[in-house]
Structure 1
Amino acid sequence: MKLIVHYNRHNFFILTLLFILFGIASYKLTKNVLLNELDESLEDAMDRVNGYVQTYHALPAPTTYDNLLISTEPVSHPVDKPYLTYVNGDITVKGKKHIGRTLTFSVSLGRQYYNIIISRPLEGIKHITKAVMLITMTMILLLIVVLALVNRFVVSRLWRPFYGTLNSLKNFRLNNTDAVEFKKSNIEEFSIMNEHLQLVTSNATKEYHLLKEFTENASHEFQTPLAIIRSKLDVLIQQDNFTEEQTAVLAEAYSAVTRLSGLSQSLLLLTKIENNQFSDQREIPLHDVLQQKVSQFEEIWKDSDISYSLQVYPSFVKMNADLLDILLNNLFSNATRHNRPGGVIHISLDNTSVHIANTGAYEALDGEKVFFRFYKSAVNNAYNGLGLSIVRQICIVSHLSPAYEYKNGLHYFSFHWQ
């Protein structure tokens, strides 16, 4: 979920909650203000009635004026103090019953006490409250809509430099000699972020080139003394004045030097693949390449008493041609090296996958570790364990999905793409 979407969801929830709370508060406040005004008008009317009684020594006639209803009734005991009450349907205005507010107080004429009741309907207050409520809620709703539009367009525009930076990072490659460029922003936080990212990518590129140079130099320097040692061992092995025990020791040393040379070359190849030095990719007719590779290994399989089958359909894969050749060489060599006399190799190709199955060990390999560096099965540990690791790294940079399975006495290596 994008940050702006997450922000808008929280913002919408908060605004909706505020809309409801403001609506309730607006209704309550408006109603209370209007009720206070109504009560004050009733108290003003009470003062006028008291003044009339004191001036004319008579009760005001029951009347309806300005929605004020005044009525009197004789009582034996006066009320202690004026009080306000609600009445429901007892106030008649223009022939209609209304709920209202009444003020009751007592006056005396001679020795007789009278209760005077002044009433006013709440109909006007209801209409005014509804009108004020509608206007207030409409304004708040319009404010929420405006804020939502501002968040959608203005905030989205503010985040454009951030997404521009992400696109620049997406296109960043360590083996690219050109420094990554970030667009300038007048927003301080984005500007600081771009400065730090510029520094990080620059340092990463420098360290990559230093590591690449060191790896290549180290591999080259290793090969020279290894070649010298191997040539000297060749000369010693060809001499006749060694015992069998000495000859066996020399053979072991020669084998170790050969393995060390192969290990150095394999590690260098892995480093090159991991550093994406085989970036050139194109559509390759895999069916043709497989047939050519089988013809190269055909004589080896014949000498090793290994039979094979090949079933291919026209299929294309997008990857680097050199990496494809390394991939197939390692897979075919692996299927040959770990096979047995009288064994078989089955190769099949369809539109989106290639499968290579071979006989070999009578037990399954560790499917979770078989493609990892320096993994060796208990059956055969005479090799450096980098072949399938190289295959795995090629699959990563070429967007292939490798898989291993053991069934029906065969080790299946499958590779899928889309």
Structure 2
Amino acid sequence: MKKKDGVLIISARHSLDSKLAGLDLGADDYLVKPFHLSELKARVSAIVRRKNFDGDNIITYNEISIDVLAMTTTVNGKAIVLTRKEFDLLVYFLANKGKVVTKNAMAEHLWGDEMDISDDFDFIYTHVKNLRKKLLEAGSQDYLRSLYGIGYKFGESVKLANKYNRVNLITSLVVLVITGVIYYIVIHFILTEKLDKDLAVEEDEIKQYVATYHKLPLASSYIDQQVYYKALTDTAPDVRLFHYTTYNNAKEHETEPGRSLITSVKVNGKRYEVTIIKSRVEAEDLVRIILLITIAVTVILLAALILINRFVLNRLWKPFYTILNQMKTYELAKMDDIAQQQTNIDEFKELNDSANAMAARVRQDYKELKSFADNASHEMMTPLAIINSKLDSLLQTDSFTPEQGAILEDVYHGVGRLFRLNQSLLLLAKIENNLIPDVQDIDMQELLTNKIRQFQELFEKDGLSLVQELRPSQVRMSRYLADVLLNNLFSNAIRHNHNGGTIAVLLYPNSLQLINTGKDIELDDKLFERFAKSTASEGMGLGLAITKQICALYGFVISYQRKDQKHCFTVVFNPKI
């Protein structure tokens, strides 16, 4: 059986015999310890290219092209910007195109052993959604299909109507070709039989003439018939044979297809061979005309079939695709029904009713879950507020030792942290379900000016110098969420800065940048995930996750990059511009 998986042996045995033995056993590569991770990655990538992409660094799938070494992606020649995880995910999909890829396999490929720290695979959905959105916006077909409860499948999809049309057309073409061939053979056989009967009639007339006049009729050459005689010996056998031959048309000076009958006749004791030839040109012309008519009818039938399939069947399937599109764009937060489609087809009516019944059950479950979350949040905040109030009162007394005071202070900070965590998670849930509807036009220049003034004391406290360039910019979003977004970005820039550092705030008509000094480390793609934070951070790790969710809600794009030894966060308000 052909081995499909790549095998890389990692071993401390560095002798030539060990390497040769490993490679002879079927390994694709052999790496000796110790090694650099960059070398391991390069060798694994080389094996993947050899196994899945014939060793080519340029991976092409229809309109999508990927340069593995340069880590660039283009769609129809237009470059698109993908994060590292999105790029790895696209390469992984292309390496497994046409196969079902589970979420667990995707998580193992992207994060390795670190995937065990996650309780679910919501982050997979986020990366896939962002990858699909970027590919579609660049003009790519939608190759990603989600398989509920299983994973994803990457490849060209075939619509039911197109599949039916293709099978129908191929079947019709094969049937018409076969019947056309049979029809041609039958017509050809009938016309040949008619020629043979005419030759037999001419044979009977010659024999009757000989019997009456005891001599052969004159050899003749007519427009479509020729008769020849040839003397035979007494020992020659009697023959009577029909066969295809050629007919020399003296008038037209050309050779035509013919049909002949060779027979024998006895005149006055002598035997003669009689050859009667008739032209087949008229019969062949008739067969040719019939064949052309058959081909024309076949083409007309196929064209009619294509038109029927294209227009009539598309109209027939219209209710199905309308229901499907409504299900794709269904938003749970709006609590809308799936519109009833006017159709007399029972299956489509049943599909519409089932979709509405499913939507009703989902809405009911959503209401119950939302009510539970709201009640749980409210009920949690009440005892937290009571505990916080009691701790405030307790801290005002002097009836405890310094050790007890330190413990109470830790409890006080823990309760405060739990209170803020509850508020942040509740805010995330509201953003995800679009429950903050106060959308309006925001003057970002004015809002940033006020926000800088609010954070001025914190800038001065840490000795941070501020560089600002604020140009007019209008953004349509919730004012409350705009305030939360800026608060999180500014808090992040201050918290992860150092004394005497700088913060640059750059506002352009379509983007916002916050650039700050900080630790000389480059963050990875996980900084926008929930509870992602450095070990030295005192935050909860939800600030940038909330910021990312706000951007996703309004179609903004937020990105991070390390630039000139500084941390740069960029929010693009309208990525299509």
Query: Of 518, 526, 546, which residue of structure 2 is paired with 1:390?
Result: 546
Letter of the 2:215 counterpart: A
Q: Is the 8 A contact 1:311 1:347 kept in 2?
A: yes
Alignment pair present for 1:354 and 2:507: no
Alignment pair present for 1:75 and 2:232: yes
Q: Name the SS for the 1:369 alignment partner.
A: helix
In the superposition, the TM-score normalised over structure 1's length comes to 0.91
Per the alignment, residue 241 of structure 1 pairs with: 399
Distance 1:109 1:161 in 2: 86
Superposed displacement of residue 243, structure 1: 2.0
Per the alignment, residue 195 of structure 2 pairs with: 38
The gaps in structure 2 that reach 5 residues or longer are 1-156
Larger Rg: 1
Alignment pair present for 1:57 and 2:57: no
Alignment pair present for 1:145 and 2:290: no
Q: Is the 8 A contact 1:79 1:105 kept in 2?
A: no
* Bigger shift: residues 126-135 or 34-43: 34-43
Superposed displacement of residue 335, structure 1: 1.4
Letter of the 1:404 counterpart: Y
Query: Of 260, 268, 277, which residue of structure 2 is paired with 1:102?
Result: 260
Spell out the pairing of 1:167-178 with structure 2 (5 A cutoff). Answer: 167-170=325-328, 172-178=330-336
Alignment pair present for 1:271 and 2:429: yes
Superposed displacement of residue 229, structure 1: 0.8
Aligned residues between the structures: 416
From the superposition, tell whether residues 236 and 34 of structure 1 become closer, same or farther in structure 2 (CA, over 3 Å). Answer: same
Query: Of 221, 229, 232, which residue of structure 1 is paired with 2:379?
Result: 221
Q: Is the 8 A contact 2:247 2:279 kept in 1?
A: no
Q: Is the 8 A contact 1:67 1:93 kept in 2?
A: no
Per the alignment, residue 181 of structure 1 pairs with: 339
Q: Name the SS for the 1:107 alignment partner.
A: strand
Q: Is the 8 A contact 2:463 2:501 kept in 1?
A: yes
Distance 2:479 2:236 in 1: 112
What is the CA deviation profile of residues 251-304 of structure 1, one whole-angstrom value per residue up to 9, with x for unaligned ones? 110010000000111111111111111245344332222222222212221222
From the superposition, tell whether residues 93 and 50 of structure 1 become closer, same or farther in structure 2 (CA, over 3 Å). Answer: farther
From the superposition, tell whether residues 9 and 63 of structure 1 become closer, same or farther in structure 2 (CA, over 3 Å). Answer: same
Spell out the pairing of 1:307-318 with structure 2 (5 A cutoff). Answer: 307-318=465-476
From the superposition, tell whether residues 369 and 116 of structure 1 become closer, same or farther in structure 2 (CA, over 3 Å). Answer: same
From the superposition, tell whether residues 69 and 371 of structure 1 become closer, same or farther in structure 2 (CA, over 3 Å). Answer: same
- Percent identity of equivalent pairs: 36
Per the alignment, residue 86 of structure 1 pairs with: 244
Instruction: Say which structure, 1 or 2, has more relative contact order (CA 8 Å, 6+ apart).
Output: 1
Query: Of 552, 566, 569, which residue of structure 2 is paired with 1:410?
Result: 566
* Bigger shift: residues 10-19 or 212-221: 10-19
Superposed displacement of residue 150, structure 1: 1.4
Per the alignment, residue 375 of structure 1 pairs with: 532
Distance 1:79 1:231 in 2: 131
Superposed displacement of residue 144, structure 1: 1.7
Alignment pair present for 1:123 and 2:281: yes
Distance 1:17 1:416 in 2: 56
What is the CA deviation profile of residues 278-334 of structure 1, one whole-angstrom value per residue up to 9, with x for unaligned ones? 245344332222222222212221222222111122223332222222111111112
What is the CA deviation profile of residues 176-233 of structure 1, one whole-angstrom value per residue up to 9, with x for unaligned ones? 3453332242112212211221111101111111111111111111111111111111
Q: Is the 8 A contact 2:245 2:259 kept in 1?
A: yes
Per the alignment, residue 204 of structure 2 pairs with: 47
Letter of the 1:231 counterpart: S
Distance 1:28 1:231 in 2: 101
Q: Is the 8 A contact 2:169 2:305 kept in 1?
A: no
Distance 2:521 2:480 in 1: 33
Distance 2:320 2:219 in 1: 78
Distance 1:317 1:79 in 2: 108
Distance 1:173 1:351 in 2: 30
The gaps in structure 1 that reach 5 residues or longer are none
* Bigger shift: residues 338-347 or 193-202: 338-347
Distance 1:50 1:78 in 2: 19
From the superposition, tell whether residues 379 and 103 of structure 1 become closer, same or farther in structure 2 (CA, over 3 Å). Answer: same
Q: Is the 8 A contact 1:78 1:107 kept in 2?
A: no
Query: Of 299, 309, 320, which residue of structure 1 is paired with 2:478?
Result: 320
Letter of the 1:401 counterpart: V
From the superposition, tell whether residues 18 and 348 of structure 1 become closer, same or farther in structure 2 (CA, over 3 Å). Answer: farther
Letter of the 2:533 counterpart: K
Alignment pair present for 1:157 and 2:283: no
Q: Is the 8 A contact 2:264 2:274 kept in 1?
A: yes
Distance 1:101 1:213 in 2: 94
Q: Name the SS for the 1:301 alignment partner.
A: helix
In the superposition, the TM-score normalised over structure 2's length comes to 0.67
Q: Is the 8 A contact 2:223 2:249 kept in 1?
A: no
Superposed displacement of residue 400, structure 1: 1.3
Letter of the 1:191 counterpart: K
Distance 1:337 1:416 in 2: 23
* Bigger shift: residues 84-93 or 194-203: 84-93
Letter of the 2:216 counterpart: L
Letter of the 1:46 counterpart: E
Q: Is the 8 A contact 1:70 1:117 kept in 2?
A: yes
Letter of the 1:340 counterpart: H
Distance 1:17 1:318 in 2: 59
Distance 2:438 2:215 in 1: 113
Letter of the 2:398 counterpart: D
Letter of the 1:182 counterpart: Q
What is the CA deviation profile of residues 342-398 of structure 1, one whole-angstrom value per residue up to 9, with x for unaligned ones? 121111122332111222232122x22111111121232x22211111111112211
Superposed displacement of residue 407, structure 1: 3.0
From the superposition, tell whether residues 185 and 103 of structure 1 become closer, same or farther in structure 2 (CA, over 3 Å). Answer: same
* Bigger shift: residues 275-284 or 17-26: 17-26
Distance 1:109 1:323 in 2: 119
From the superposition, tell whether residues 43 and 89 of structure 1 become closer, same or farther in structure 2 (CA, over 3 Å). Answer: closer
What is the CA deviation profile of residues 41-90 of structure 1, one whole-angstrom value per residue up to 9, with x for unaligned ones? 22332233334333443223223467232221112144443112333353
